[in-house]
Structure 1
Amino acid sequence: MVQLQVLQLLVEIMRILLKHQSCCKWSIVFGTAMLISVIFIMMDHKFPPTDRKVYKLLPVNQSEWYWKATAHITPPQPTKHVVECSVDNGMQNIPSHLPAPHRNFLMYKHCRKFPRLLSPTPCENDLFLLLAIKSTAIQVDRRIALRSTWGKRGYIEGKRVKLLFLVGKSSDRIQEYSLQQLLEWESRQFGDILQWNFKDTFFNLTLKEVHFLDWFSLECKWAQYVFKGDDDVFVHTSNLLEYVKDHNPSEHLFAGDIIPKAYPIRQKHLKYFIPKEMYPDKEYPPYAGGGGYLMSRKTVLSLGVAASSMDLFPIDDVYVGMCLLNINITLTHHPGFKTFGFKQVVSHFNPCIYREMMLVHKLNPTEMWTMWSLLQDPKLQCFIKT
């Protein structure tokens, strides 16, 4: 059964996580909590016998497989037939000295439209804050942590909040199981997965950006504010809501950890290497650290219009900065966005510090749960030093 297969997947994921983490009590707590949550969900009446399906592996091509239902009840969002995008004939003379990912990006950067594989539940008419989080199939532990901590859907301080995960198509597997099956189960259970049929790679993060902007303009444009970030950030959602009280969603707002001056990295061995053939200028436009930033509805819609007419660039944070520059939107730096962590020598895991933050980057799921529980403690006392 699908439920048993998913449980086997999560047991294996927990085994891998515990293997690579230190064997501290929080690692054990996290793994146990994840499994107990899944077991209780599977016992829920949301999986009646009539909804069960039989799955088998079907070949897509020589190197890929996918799961498809063979019962009379088809999956709610079946995989669509894809017409592959061809190489741009005008980019045949790409310099051979460029790394393969860069050459591939240049050959296919004209490919901007990919079909959707999984859709979330519809945006509600009274949606105030949309949390749009970039994730990948293998990061199931992070998604579970976000759903049960700062990304909880529902109402916060009287404002409706919705969580959404943005993913591409991954070839990741746990033993013989494709993680696409797990994403489809998560989509049915939580309704918070938005997936497209392009490879989930670093250079394709810009595709996530433009596809999200298209989706927002068509299906969620009544959301008043959007937080867009990574799945390993800790967000103080209440602080986001407090911040926008003095703003209007019909006016521009783009706030985050703004990098006013950044330069293309020309060292070929580094992750963010950009050759002059891809970006000849000496300086990038101002942009926000990709751990997370906050936007108004007007800004998101304007970004969508700008992105539709701009060539793709392989670093998504810089690409957003290019679009903002194109439409002349002012970027607002806020010290509460710690997308590069804490620079000063402090205890980075102090709830009294986190209480004043918008977000902090690079927390694992165990740390996420721990910090969230500490901040919810009504007995937490923080004293200001004088």
Structure 2
Amino acid sequence: MRRSCGLHYFCWPCACVAAWFLCCVMIKLDQSPIDGQGAKGVQILSTLWNRKENASLPNTSTPPGPLENFECPENDTLMGVPTNIPLLHQEFLRYKHCRRFRTLLTPTSCEDDLYLLLAIKSTALHIDRRAALRDTWGRAGLVNGRSVKLIFLMGHSDENMDRYALQPLLEWENRQFGDILQWDFKDSFFNLTLKEVSFLSWFGRSCHWAQFVLKGDDDVFVHTENVIEYLNEHSPNEHLFVGDILPRSYPIRDSDVKYFIPAEMYPNGKPYPPYAGGGGYLMSRKTVVGLDAAAAGVDLFPIDDVYVGMCLQRMGVQPHAHTGFRTFGFHNIMAHFNPCAYRNLMLVHKLRPVEMWVMWALVQDSGLACSQGAH
């Protein structure tokens, strides 16, 4: 008879309490919302935006030095960029045609029999997150007999000093693990869409034989065995796009909010197309290749998740919601530290590195017994 989780089995509860304590120590306030107005806006502009400084060049197998800059000129045919919107949004409109940037670092080649590609958005400073993923659910190799590969999608640091200090470290990481795909643009919120289209283009050239792709952030927990089990019921040659879907959301008009979009960039009264919460989603090869083709005809949009929804709409592909994706976390905060709550899920957002290690060890424990109500 299977036993239920209880306080008399104190192994994982103790570990969860330890994780809770560590996380409480690590918790910090989020950064202030983006504000593109005035002198502060100019400062933000100089640190987050560099499409003017970087190249719109074809990718080459032997690119020039990784810290050289090239020019992508302003679109001088664009008339009447509104001056009453934040500076970042003005700059986005002037330079959104800049899509092609040099590749600075490339991962090892995709294997011919690659089943699942884990494509994870990261930044240069998130060294601890990458280490946690490589050591837990992102381990490359075979999962349930299926080939799995992990890559990190990156720009470069938004500060020149950090950039020169961190680039050698990223090069070392890539020599050690062969899992970094980096382009020559700054890692910033408004450049996440650039990261999206750059990945789609790379996939079409260099990894289009991978059967499925999981896109996610570097603070998600993925139950890879559950993902593989789910994918075994689907064909890579049919459209598949699943995640935590927002079927009908509207632009945020509050300029103090990070996801603010002015009416000049998206009309009033019109909902966004259905899209997946950006913590993570799952796609078939056919859908990824289709997104690459569709993106060529869709203007870049500041919010990358919404942009993917726009491309899906252009393709005529409907994204599907799946309860196994918790990109907004758990409603019950204690479930966040309960390994039994992860047993039937595919993806949970968001976990810190220490939580990732603890939870992975607990979920992998073959002796863990869970009651039906623990999920």
For Structure 1 versus Structure 2, the TM-score category normalised by the shorter chain is: 0.7 to 0.9
Matched, 1:319 2:319: no
The equivalent of 2:109 in structure 1 is 122
Q: Over residues 26-67 of structure 1, what are the superposed CA-to-partner deviations in whole Å (9 max), with x where a residue is unaligned?
A: 899xxxxxxxxxxxxxxxxxxxxxxxxxxxxxxxx9xx9xxx
Matched, 1:306 2:279: no
Matched, 1:171 2:158: yes
Paired residues, what number?
Answer: 321
TM-score by length of 2: 0.81
Q: Which sits farther off after the overlay, 96-105 or 250-259?
A: 96-105
Q: What is the deviation of 1:332? A: 1.1
Rounded Cα–Cα distance in structure 1 between residues aligned with 2:64 and 2:107: 10
67, 79, 87: which is aligned to 2:74? 87
The equivalent of 1:341 in structure 2 is 329
Q: Over residues 214-272 of structure 1, what are the superposed CA-to-partner deviations in whole Å (9 max), with x where a residue is unaligned?
A: 00000000000000000000000111000011110000000000110100001111100
Superposed, which structure 2 residues align to 1:347-386 within 5 Å? 347-385=335-373
Superposition RMSD on alpha carbons, in Å? 2.5
The equivalent of 2:146 in structure 1 is 159
Q: Over residues 294-347 of structure 1, what are the superposed CA-to-partner deviations in whole Å (9 max), with x where a residue is unaligned?
A: 000000000000001211001000000000000101211101100001125653
Rounded Cα–Cα distance in structure 1 between residues aligned with 2:372 and 2:223: 20
239, 249, 255: which is aligned to 2:242? 255
Q: Aligned AA for 1:124? A: E
Rounded Cα–Cα distance in structure 1 between residues aligned with 2:242 and 2:235: 13
Closer, same or farther: CA 176–320 of 1 in aligned 2, 3 Å: closer
Rounded Cα–Cα distance in structure 1 between residues aligned with 2:333 and 2:200: 38
Matched, 1:270 2:257: yes
CA contact (8 A) 1:116 1:197 kept: yes
Which stretches of structure 1, 4 residues or more, deviate above 6 A after TM superposition? 25-28, 173-177
Rounded Cα–Cα distance in structure 2 between residues aligned with 1:264 and 1:314: 11
CA contact (8 A) 2:117 2:148 kept: yes
Matched, 1:100 2:92: no
Q: What is the deviation of 1:348? A: 1.9
Closer, same or farther: CA 335–306 of 1 in aligned 2, 3 Å: same
Rounded Cα–Cα distance in structure 2 between residues aligned with 1:91 and 1:76: 31
CA contact (8 A) 1:77 1:119 kept: no
SS in 2 for 1:255: strand
CA contact (8 A) 2:20 2:337 kept: no
CA contact (8 A) 2:156 2:163 kept: no
Superposed, which structure 2 residues align to 1:40-59 within 5 Å? none
Rounded Cα–Cα distance in structure 2 between residues aligned with 1:312 and 1:276: 16
Q: What is the deviation of 1:383? A: 1.8
The equivalent of 1:54 in structure 2 is none
Which of structures 1 and 2 has the larger relative contact order (alpha carbons within 8 angstroms, sep 6+)? 2
Unaligned runs of 5+ in 2: 1-18, 26-49, 54-61
Rounded Cα–Cα distance in structure 1 between residues aligned with 2:126 and 2:248: 32
SS in 2 for 1:374: helix
Matched, 1:246 2:233: yes
SS in 2 for 1:98: coil
Closer, same or farther: CA 194–350 of 1 in aligned 2, 3 Å: same
Closer, same or farther: CA 175–224 of 1 in aligned 2, 3 Å: closer
Identity %: 60
Q: Aligned AA for 2:237? A: S
CA contact (8 A) 1:172 1:178 kept: no
Rounded Cα–Cα distance in structure 1 between residues aligned with 2:291 and 2:169: 32
Q: What is the deviation of 1:82? A: 4.4
The equivalent of 1:229 in structure 2 is 216
Rounded Cα–Cα distance in structure 1 between residues aligned with 2:163 and 2:204: 38
The equivalent of 1:288 in structure 2 is 276
CA contact (8 A) 1:173 1:179 kept: no
